[in-house]
Chain A
Amino acid sequence: MNAEEQERMTRLLKAALPPVGNDEPGRDVWPAVLKRMDGQAAVPWFDWALLAGLLGLTALAPASIPVLLYYL
C-alpha cells in the first residue's frame, strides 16, 4: 500500500468513524466499583468446599495430617 492509498484509507476511516471526544459517564460509577471490589473479597465456594473436604479428611483419618503438612 503506497502513501496515497494510505492517505485515502485514513480519510475514509475518519469519515466513517468521527472522533467521540471527551465525555463523562451518565451515572456515578463509584458504587459499581465498590460492588466489584466486594466481589473480589468474597471467597469462592470451591475454596470453602476444599477446606471442608480437608477438615473432613483429617477428622476421619488423623494419620493423613503429616502427609498434608508435607505437601503444604
Chain B
Amino acid sequence: MENEEQDVLIQFQLGSMEAFETLFRMHQRAVYGWILRIVRNAAAAEDVTVETFWRIHKAHARFEPRRGFAPWARRIASHAALDWLRAELPARETDSEMMVEDLAAPAAADAAVTAEIRAKTALAFGRLPPKLRIAATLAVVEELPAREVADALGISIAAVKVRVFRALRLLRKDLQGQGMRP
C-alpha cells in the first residue's frame, strides 16, 4: 500500500496526469477544508481550491515525494488563500456590510457577546493585513497548533506568535476606534 502511494507520488513528479488526478481525488477535501478555514466563504474556497491544484500541477517537477503530498499541498493552498485575501481586501473595504455578513458568527454563538460587538469585531478583523489575518484565523479561531500553522505558512513558530499578537493588538486598536472598550 505504501509502495503504491509512493509510486503515485513519483509518477506525479514525472508529470503523469493520471497520478495527478489520483492525488486530487485523495486530497481535494482536505485542501478545500483548509482553504475554507482561511477564506471563510464556500464559493471563494472552491475557486481557491481550483487555483491551488493548478499551482500544484504547475510545480510538479519541484515536488519531493519523500516529504509527502499533504504538507506541500497545504502550503501551496495557504499561499493561494493569502493571495485571495490580498485581492479581496480592497473590494471589501468598499462594502463593509457584506464583510460583516460573511464573517460574523450567528447570534447564538456566545450569549455574553452582543451581536453588535460581534459585527464590529468581524469588521475589524476583515480590515487586518492578510498576513496577520491568516495567522490569527488558523491559530486563534481554528485553534490549530502553532507548529501546524508555521508549516503551512512557511514561517517559524515564533513568527506565528508574533503575527497573532500583532493581529490581536491591531484588532483592539480598531475596536477602540469604533468606540468600543475591549
Q: A residues near B, CB below 8 A?
A: 1, 5-6, 8-10, 12-27, 29-30, 32-33, 36-37, 40
Contacts and interface: CB of A to CB of B under 8 A. Distances in A.
B142 interface: yes
Contacts of A9: 168, 171-172, 182
B19 interface: no
A16 B105 contact: yes
Given A29-B28, A40-B58, A15 B171 contact: no
Contact of A27 (B46, B51, B103, B168): B46
Interface residues of B, number: 48
B113 interface: yes
A10 B142 CA distance: 11
B125 interface: yes
B157 interface: no
Identify whether the interface residues of A are mostly helix, strand, loop, or mixed: helix
B8 interface: no
A40 B113 CA distance: 48
Contacts of B105: 15-18
Contact of A24 (B32, B40, B171): B32
A15 B113 contact: yes
Contact of B140 (A14, A25, A27, A37): A14
B92 interface: no
A14 B141 contact: yes
Contact of B37 (A20, A33, A40): A20
